[in-house]
Amino acid sequence: MRRNLWRRFGSTFAMGAVYGLTGLALVPLGLVLWFTTAKGLPSVAHMEFFTNAQRPSGIPGGGVANAIVGTAIVVSLASLAAIPIGVLSGIYLAEYGAGRWASWVRLASDVLVGAPSIALGLFAFALVVVPQHHYSAIAASVALSVLMLPVVIRTTEGAVGLIPNGLRESGLALGLPRWRVSLQLILPAAAPGVITGALLAIARAAGETAPVLFTALGNQNLVFDPTRAMSTLPLVVFRDALTPYKDLQQEAWGAALLLMVMVLVINLGSRWVLRRQIRLARQL
């Protein structure tokens, strides 16, 4: 009787400690969300913030349309480069990755995941910017694609590895070559997990500042040419927040709120896709 009482007390104490520490960990996140929303809401409340490009301090009507377009172009180019390569590499590691080469690829992916983003920015600067003698969105996309690549590889490998072997054996029994089984049967079955990893990689790339600072540099004009310098939302936050002008600081808070909402939507979308995969798997 006394032993059961102590077990209940220990269980209650442990659960209370878990909930308490979880709530304590959520306090900084809640403060960041509340503070950014309170500071940035006055800027995003005006449509000019989304339709106009940046303007010098003291000139009303400035916005971040150039940064929104720049973020979309840079991240899109990086995704076009990183996601196909990452997905194919992840499929290779999951389906054929039993040798030494696969172990080296996994090691390289793990190292790149923890690599400082500023080092990747310097890499793209030396690889693209220096030979071309000018900054560009293409150079920024190269840096961000290297940043996204290991995330896509590891998440794809994990998603493909969860597919039951029975599906592979069924395809092989029908006489399909193994590469067709991987691309036509395994990849569609693992698509929700692969999409989740791609969305997480996009969210990470969209919020990076250092690689874009070394490669795209920034541009207050609204441009669509990827061979020219461009601005992104993280660059607006970085530069405007350091100025002594109140209107530019307010613009930085608005860009930070917009960036935070964008990343939040991408993460919620990835979670929705993952939950849908789990629901479909249970129905099957």
Is residue 185 situated within a structural domain?
Answer: yes
Distance CA 235, CA 209 (A): 6
Predicted pLDDT of residue 188: 87
More confident residue, 78 or 107: 78
Is residue 134 situated within a structural domain?
Answer: yes
Is residue 7 situated within a structural domain?
Answer: no
Predicted pLDDT of residue 283: 61
Count structural domains, the chain: 1
Tokens of 14: 């442990």
Tokens of 85: 């390569």
Is residue 26 situated within a structural domain?
Answer: no
Reference 240, options 29, 52, 55; nearest CA is: 55
Residue 120 identity: L
Is residue 204 situated within a structural domain?
Answer: yes
Range of the domain at 196: 63-283
Q: How far is CA 237 from the centre of its chain?
A: 18
Is residue 161 situated within a structural domain?
Answer: yes
Distance CA 183, CA 141 (A): 27
Predicted pLDDT of residue 82: 96
Distance CA 131, CA 122 (A): 13
Q: Are the beta carbons of 95 and 263 closer than 8 angstroms?
A: no
User: Residue 115: left (phi > 0), alpha (psi -120 to 50), or beta?
Assistant: beta
Is residue 82 situated within a structural domain?
Answer: yes
pLDDT in tens, 48-90: 999 999 998 888 888 999 999 999 999 999 999 999 999 999 9
CATH number for position 224: 1.10.3720.10
Is residue 54 situated within a structural domain?
Answer: no
Neighbours of 188 (CB within 10 A): 11
Asked if residue 195 has pLDDT above 80, the reply is: yes
Q: Is the pTM of this model over 0.85?
A: yes
Average pLDDT on 10-29 reads 88
Q: Are the beta carbons of 192 and 151 closer than 8 angstroms?
A: no
Tokens of 31: 């403060």
Question: What is the share, in percent, of the chain residues with pLDDT greater than 70?
Answer: 96
pLDDT in tens, 204-215: 999 999 999 999
Q: How far is CA 283 from CA 269, 274, 280, in A?
A: 21, 14, 5
